[in-house]
Structure 1
Amino acid sequence: MGKSKRIWLLALTAVVSLSVVTACSGPNNAKKNTGTTEPTSAAATTETEPKQDKVTFKIFNGVAGSKDGNTNETTIGKLLEDQTGVNFKLEFVVGDLNTKIGTMIAANDYPDVLIPDAAIEEVLNAGAFIPLDELIEKYGPNIQRVYGKSLNQMRSKDGKIYFLPIAAQVNDFIPEPEAGAGFWVQRRVLEEAGYPKIKTLDQYIELIKNYRDKHKDENLTGMVSLTHDWRFFATSNPPMHLMGYPNDGNVTVDTNTWEAKTYAGAESTKKWLKALNDLNAAGLFDKASFVDNYDQYIAKLTSHKVLGFFDYRWQVDNALNVLKDAARKDPSLDGFKYFPLPVTFEEGTPDAYLDPPGGLVTNRGIGITVSAKDPVRIIQFFDNMLTEENQTLMSWGIKGETYEVNEQGRYYRTQEQIDKIDEPFRESFGFKYFSWNWPMYNATSTLADGNAKNVASQPEVFQMTLTDKDKAILEKYGVQTYSQLFAEPVPRPYFPAWGFAKEQNSPEQLWEASKDEMTKKYFPKLVLTTPDKFEAVWEEYMKEFGKLDTAGYEKWTTEQVKAKVELANQ
C-alpha cells in the first residue's frame, strides 16, 4: 500500500492536497475528454422538478484525519444539500480499521455509505455493497462521463460495479506544484548548512546529524517514522523510492519489461533499515515511532522538535498546514516548516517521487451498502457532485468569495482570499470534508474551460500562495515550485500497482497479509537492536521471509501490470 492514497492516500492532500494520493490518472491523460455526455446539474433542474424532502445519510470513512460532523454544517455541504436535499453525517475511523469493519460485518449493520479504504476486500466479500450498475445507468450521466471507458475496469469478477473509485483523471493532466512525497527536513537545517543540494540518503542523514550535534541543548529528534496500523507503509516503502521507483506498493516495476519485483527482502530494504539502525544507535531516531499512533506522529511533526522524516504529503498535510499557517502569521517560525528533498541511495539515480500518469485505482472507493435507506438519492447526490459546477465548488469555492475570474476566464485568488483560507476556514467552508474520498476529478485534472481542477495547480495562484521566505528558499535551489526539485515522472499506464484489486483469501492477498505481519514484527527489531546484532536479526527475518511464495506474488503482479498496459495501448 502507499496511498498516493494515495496507498493509499492519503490519502489525504490542504488541498489535502491531494496529491496523495495517490492520485490516479487515466491512460489517455494527455488528451481532452471526448465524452459527449454533458454534465447535468441538480441545481439547474430545481425549477422544473419539485424539491424532495431533506434526508440525512450516515457515512463511515475508514481514513482518519477529520472530525465527525454533518456536511451541511459547512458552506459547501449546505449548498449541496440545497441542490439535492441530502446531508451526510460523517464518522471517521478511530482506532483499528479492521476491528471497526469486522464489527459491522458481524452484525450485518452498516452506514448508508461506506469508504472502507484498506478493508474494502473484506466488505466486498461480506456482500455489504449493493451493485451500482442500474443506478449509474438510470441516474448517473455525470458518473458515466467522468469514469468513461474506465467503467469496465471497475467491475468485479461477476461483472458488476460495487463502488466508485476515488477520483478519475478528466481532461488534461497537470502535475501538482507541491511535492507528493520525499524526505522532509526543517528549513532551518538547510539554512544553517548553506542550502546544500541533498541527493543521497547518506547526505540527508549527515545533514540532520550535523545540525543536531550543534544544538544538543534543544532536545531535538533527528528522525521519526510512521508505523501505526495500515500506515506502516511509511516505514516500509522508502527502499523503492531510494532505488528510484515510484510508489507501487510492494513492488518495483521495470518499464522496459513490465516485470514486477518485490523488495521487502532485497538489499535495498536491508540498506534502509541499517541506516535507521545507525541513526538509532547515534540517538537520532525516535524509538517511539514503533508505538506512536497517527495523531501522536502528527503532533510531533508540529512540535518544532523533529528535524526530518519520510512520508507522503497527503498523509502529513494536516501537520504541514498547521506549520504553514503559523509561519504566515509569524514569519520567524518559517524555519520549522519542512522542505521536501529527492533523496536516493546513489547520486546518479533519477528520483521518482512524483506520481506518474497512470491508470485507475480499483481497490479503493466509496460504495452504497445493503443498509442504505435510499440508494437512488445517494447515487443522485454522487452524480450531482460530478458536475463541472460542483467540482469547481469543491475545489475553488464560491466566485467573489474564495476565487475570482479574469477577463480571459482564468480562475485566481486575491491575496486577501489566500490569507483567509487557513485550516479553520477550510474546515468551516467544507474544503477539508470535500477534498478527498468522494467521487471527483483527480487533482491533476482540468475543468472543461481549461482551468486547473486543483487550485494549487493553477500557476498564477500557486505563486501568490508563496510567502517571501517560500520564494527565497525556492530561489536558492533554482526552482519556482516544489515539484520542480524532483525528476519528471515517467508515464506508467498501469500505475499504481498497489491499486490492483485482489480477491479475498487469494494467494496474493495472503502473501501481502503475511508480509505485513512479518515486517511489523521484524522491522522494529532491526532498527532498535544494537548494530553488532543487526546481521543476525536480518538473517532471522530472511529465513522467515523465504517461506513466502514471493515468486507467485511477483508473477501475478506482473500479469496485472501487463494486462493494464495492453488495455491502455488499445
Structure 2
Amino acid sequence: MRRKGMLIAMMCGVLLVSACSSNNKPSASESAAASPSSSASSSASSSSEVPKEEYVIKVLTQAAMKVKRSDETKVGKVIKDKFNIVFEYVQTPGNYADKLNLMLAGGDYPEMITIQDNATFDKYVHAGALLPLDDFVAKSPDFAKRYSEQIPLWRLSASDGKLYKWEGMVPVDFRNYVEVNDIGVRTDVLKQQNWPNLLSTDDYIKFLKQGLKDNPTTNGQKTLGMIVPFAEPWGMQGIGAIMYEKGGRYTAAAGNMGVVWNQVDQKFEDMMMNEYVKEGLAFFNKLYREGILDKDSFTDKYDQFVEKLNSGRALSSWYVVWALSVTNQGLIQAGHPDIQYINMPVRSKTQIERNEKRQIRVEDTRPFAINAITKNAKHPERIEDLLAWAATEEGRILLQSGFEGEQYTIVDGKRVPTEAYKKMVADPNSDEKIGLGGFEFLGNVMTNGEDGVPYNMALDPSLQDELNLTQQARDAYSALGWANSKDYYLKTGESAHTGVAGTIAIDTTSELGALHQRMVDFRVKNSTALIIKPKSDEEFEAMYQSVISDYQKLKPEQVVNEYNRLYQEKKAQLDQLK
C-alpha cells in the first residue's frame, strides 16, 4: 500500500540521481568503496574473482527514474566493479498488483521481483515462482544476523515454512523512524488563524472552511480544501479507512484488506464495521458536503495529487505527507516561500474522548516491500553473492550513506553528513550523481550502523528536522509550541511492534480467500457512496446501517475468525522457528 517512492521523498536520503559522464574517473572514496573491507569478509564475493560476463537484471519500478541502468550512478559502478551486475530499471505504471498477476499467469516475471502485498506474494509462492533462500541464509552470516528477528517471521508468510523473501525498511529503530502520516496543512493559513493546534475532525472542518473563505484563490488558481489520491489502488481501499490508526487501539499491521489489527487486545477485527473507520467516512462525507474535499479526489491518482500539492493551491492533504518535503522546496524555488506544508495530527471524536496512547506502528515485517529471486533467474548464485554483501557493514553504508569524503566524513569514529549531503536531502534536483535510491530492493534498513549513526543519515533523530524540513516548516512547528516535528506524537503515542500480525494472510486460492476479496470490493465501493451520497448526518447514519446490513450477509466473520485462528497457529510456529 505504502508506496513506492514514499521513502525517497519522506526520508530524502534515498535519492536516485542523474548519470555520471562515462569519462569521469572514480573519486578516491569511490575507489575505496570498491575495495572489499574486512566487514565484507563473510560475503561470498569477497573471496572470488569478479565474473567476466556482465549480468543485466531487469527490475520493475513505479518511481520516476532519472537513469535507465544502475551503472550510470556511482553506487551502481561499485556494484558492477565488485559483481559485474547491472540493474535495468523498467517503468511499470498503473495497477502494480494487476501487472504482477498477469506476469505470473504468463510466466514472464523478471529474475528479481518486488511485491507490494501478502496476497500477491502468496500467489507467487503457490505457483512455485520463487526460489527458496534457506541454503543462502545458512552460508551468509551477515544476512542472518542483520535480519535475525525478521527471518522467522518471513518464513511464516509462506505456506510451506520456507524462506522466499527479504523486505525493505526493516528492521526498524523506533527512535529513527516515527511513522505518522496524518494531514499535511498549509502553514500560511495556520498563521492567518493564529496558529490553532488542530486535532479533532471538527477542528479541521472549521479551519478549512475559514481557510477557503480567506483564500478563494492561490497563485491565480482556485484553492482546494483537501486533496486525496483515492483513485490509487491503495487509495480508497487503504487510506480511505485509515482513521482507525489515529487512536489508541489499532495499527495498520494487517494491511488494507478486510481486517484491522487491534494492538491492545492482540486480535483481528472487521475493518468495514470498525467504529473508527465509520467515523473516518463520516468525516469525509462532511468534508464533501461542505465543499472542502476536492471532488476530483475520486479520480485523482498520485501524479495528479502531487501536481495539485506542488502548486500550493491545496490547504491540506490527507495521509500522503511524505511528498511534503519536496513540495516545500519546490514552492520556495518557485518564489512562494510563505506557502509551506507540515504534518499535523488528527483524531476522531471518540478517539479524543478516550484519550488513549496512540499505537505508533513499528514494523517487524513490511509486506509492502517484499523482494524475492524468481525461478527465471539465470544466475541466482550471483544475486545471492550481491545480497550477502549488501547485508554487510560495508554494503549497508555504501548503499544508504554513500561515500566517505563526499556524503559523509568520520568524526570521533562516527559518520557525519557533509554539506553536500545536506544539500542533496534539501533539494533532490541538486543530486550528486550517487544513486542512493536505486537499490532499495537489496534491503534498506532503518537501524544504526556500528558507529551508532543510522545507515540512512537523514534518520538521525538529532538531525531529522534540519535535514528534512525547510526553515519555514521548522518555524511553524515552533509557533505551534512543538519542540520538533515529532514532539506531539512522542508525547501521546507509544511504539507498537507488528510481530506475527504482519505476516498473516489467507490462502488466496481458497473459498475464504475469495470471500476476503469480496469483502474488500464491497468496502471500497460502498465507502465511496457513503462519502458522496448522504446530504446530512442523519442520512449518513441511515445509509451506513443499510450498508452494514448488506455487508453482514457476506458472513465476513468467517474471514475474521480465520485470521485469528492463523494468528494463534503462527504464534506457536514462531516459537519453534526461533
Task: Report the TM-score range of the alignment, normalised by the length of the smaller protein.
Answer: 0.7 to 0.9
CA contact (8 A) 2:59 2:112 kept: yes
Q: Is 2:272 aligned against 1:272?
A: no
Amino acid at match of 1:347: I
Aligned-pair identity in percent equals 21
User: By how many angstroms is 1:102 displaced?
Assistant: 2.9
- Distance (whole Å) between structure 2 residues aligned to residue 472 and residue 481 of structure 1: 10
1:17 counterpart = 2:11? yes
| Equivalence for 1:216 | 216
Give the Cα–Cα distance (whole angstroms) in 1 for the partners of residues 486 and 388 of structure 2.
32
CA 338–294 in structure 1, closer or farther in 2 if over 3 Å, else same: same
Partner of 1:115: 114
1:435-446 equivalences under 5 Å are 436-441=440-445, 443=446, 445-446=447-448
- Give distance in 2, aligned partners of 1:266 and 1:336: 34
Could you report, residue by residue, the CA deviation over 1:244-274 in whole angstroms, capped at 9, with x for unpaired residues?
A: 3332335444445323222312343333222
1:387-434 per-residue CA deviation (whole Å, 9 max, x = no partner) reads 11121122221111112221x223222344312442234584212223
Deviation at 1:229, TM superposition (A): 4.1
**Distance of aligned partners of 1:528 and 1:308 in 2 relative to their CA distance in 1, 3 Å threshold:** same
Equivalences for residues 133-148 of structure 1 within 5 A: 133-138=134-139, 140-148=140-148
1:258 to 266, 287, 301: 266
Aligned partner of residue 472 in structure 2, secondary structure? helix
Q: TM-score, normalised by structure 1?
A: 0.84
The answer to whether the Cα contact below 8 Å between 2:153 and 2:500 also exists between their aligned partners in 1 is no
- 2:326 is aligned to 322
* 2:393 is equivalent to residue 388 of structure 1: yes
Is residue 2:476 matched to residue 1:473? yes
Work out whether 1:206 is the aligned partner of 2:178.
Answer: no
Q: C-alpha separation between the residues in 2 aligned to 1:363 and 1:14?
A: 15
User: Does the aligned pair in 2 maintain the 1:265–1:542 contact within 8 Å?
Assistant: yes
Asked if the contact 2:168–2:442 (Cα under 8 Å) also holds between the matched residues in 1, the reply is yes
Amino acid at match of 2:448: T
5 Å matches for 1:415-454? 415-421=419-425, 422-426=427-431, 428-434=433-439, 436-441=440-445, 443=446, 445-454=447-456
- Residues 61 and 116 of structure 1 are in contact (CA less than 8 Å); yes or no, is this contact kept in structure 2? no
Deviation at 1:114, TM superposition (A): 0.9
Task: Tell me the equivalent position of 2:154.
Answer: 154
Matching residue of 2:540: 534
Residue pair 1:359, 1:495 contacting (<8 A) in 2 also = yes
Shift of 1:169: 1.8
Instruction: Give the SS at the match of 2:564.
Output: helix
Contact 1:105/1:123, CA 8 A, preserved across alignment: yes
1:546 pairs, out of 539, 549, 552, with 552
Question: Which shows bigger deviation, 57-66 or 185-194?
Answer: 57-66
Deviation at 1:509, TM superposition (A): 3.4
Change in 2 beyond 3 A, CA 1:428/1:334: farther
Tell whether the 8 Å contact from 1:179 to 1:340 is kept in structure 2 after alignment.
Answer: no
- Give the superposition deviation at 1:211: 0.6
Decide which moves more: 302-311 or 65-74. 65-74
User: In 1, Cα distance between the equivalents of 2:396 and 2:178?
Assistant: 20
Relative distance call for 1:342 and 1:391 in structure 2 (3 A) is: farther
1:537 CA displacement: 3.6
- Counterparts of 2:41 and 2:83, CA distance in 1: 10
C-alpha contact 2:263 2:359 (8 A) present in aligned 1:
no
> Kindly tell me: are residues 142 and 242 of structure 1, through their superposed partners in 2, closer, same or farther at Cα, counting changes over 3 Å?
closer
Distance 1:551 1:195, change over 3 A: same
1:149 to partner: Cα distance = 4.9
| Match in the other structure for 1:180 | 180
1:493-531, CA deviations, whole angstroms, 9 ceiling, x for partnerless residues?
Answer: 444845424322245533431122112211222212141
Q: Distance in 2 between matches of 1:355 and 1:463?
A: 19
Q: Is the partner of 1:335 in helix, strand or coil?
A: coil
Equivalent residue number for residue 524 of structure 1: 528
Q: Residue in 1 aligned with 2:341?
A: 337
In 2, Cα distance between equivalents of 1:374 and 1:226: 40
Farther-moved stretch of structure 1 (220-229 vs 64-73) = 64-73
Q: Would the aligned equivalents of 1:186 and 1:336 in 2 still touch at CA under 8 Å?
A: yes
Letter in 1 for 2:473: D
Residue of structure 2 in register with 1:483 after alignment: 486
Question: TM-score when scaled to structure 2?
Answer: 0.83
Which residue of the other structure, out of 365, 369, 390, is the alignment partner of 2:374? 369
Q: Distance in 1 between matches of 2:357 and 2:67?
A: 35
Tell me if 1:309 matches 2:317: yes
Bigger shift: 235-244 or 88-97? 235-244
Give how far 1:295 is off: 1.5
Moved over 6 A (4+): 42-45, 351-354
Matched, 1:411 2:415: yes
Give how far 1:157 is off: 2.6
Asked if 2 retains the 8 angstrom alpha-carbon contact of 1:179 and 1:354, the reply is no
Contact 2:176 2:461 in 1 (8 A): no
The answer to whether the Cα contact below 8 Å between 2:40 and 2:389 also exists between their aligned partners in 1 is yes
Provide the aligned C-alpha RMSD in A. 3.2
Deviation at residue 188 of structure 1 after TM alignment? 1.5
Q: What is the CA-CA distance between 1:115 and the residue it aligns to? A: 0.9
1:82 is matched with which residue?
81
Partner of 2:105: 106
1:87 shift after superposition: 0.9
Question: CA separation in 2, counterparts of 1:197 and 1:339?
Answer: 12
Q: Give ranges in structure 2 of 5+ residues lacking alignment.
A: 15-37
Give the conservation status (yes or no) of the 8 Å contact 1:226–1:235. no
**8 Å Cα contact 2:478/2:484 also seen in 1:** no
| Number of the residue aligned with 1:504 | 508
Moved more, 363-372 or 422-431: 422-431
Please state whether the residue corresponding to 1:325 is helix, strand or coil. Answer: helix
Q: CA deviation at 1:558?
A: 3.1
Give the distance between the partners of 1:492 and 1:564, measured in 2 at CA. Answer: 19
Corresponding residue for 2:24? none
Q: Deviations over 1:215-267 (max 9, x none)?
A: 22441111122223431244333230244333233544444532322231234
Return 5+ residue gaps in structure 1 as ranges. Answer: 1-6, 21-37
- Residues 494 and 561, structure 1, Cα contact 8 Å, conserved in 2: no
Equivalenced residue count is: 535
- Supply the AA of the counterpart residue of 1:188: D
C-alpha distance 216-424 of structure 1, shift in aligned 2 (>3 A):
closer
